[in-house]
Amino acid sequence: MIDIFHASVIVLILTVFLCLYRVLAGPGWENRLIAVNTIGTKTIVVLVLIGFIYERPLFLDISIAYAMINFISTLAIAKYLGRGCIC
């Protein structure tokens, strides 16, 4: 059963590289921002899976905090790039 989780982590890490390509070669700032947000979401899932594999519930708390930071920073960057200010 744990092998399935290890395989899932490896697949998620490989798909992060696809998103990284979109960040570097994206046609606009909207696509790049969505790709960065997707990388953050995949990182959260990897943290949860690592916490489950190694039976460390602390990783779940870390992933929740990282999810909040990822969400707030994505909103702030989108607002700044859309309007030119965060106000």
Q: Domain map of the chain by residue range?
A: 2-83
The pTM for the full model equals: 0.88
Question: Could you say which DSSP state residue 85 is in?
Answer: S
pLDDT in tens, 12-58: 999 999 999 999 998 999 999 999 999 999 999 999 999 999 999 99
Q: Identify whether the C-beta of residue 51 lies closer than 8 Å to the C-beta of residue 59.
A: yes
* pLDDT score for 85: 80
Is the model's pLDDT at 4 over the cut of 80?
Answer: yes
Q: Identify whether the C-beta of residue 62 lies closer than 8 Å to the C-beta of residue 71.
A: no
Average pLDDT over the chain, rounded to an integer: 93
What is the three-class DSSP state of 78? helix
Of 35, 36, 63, 34, nearest to 47 by C-alpha is: 63
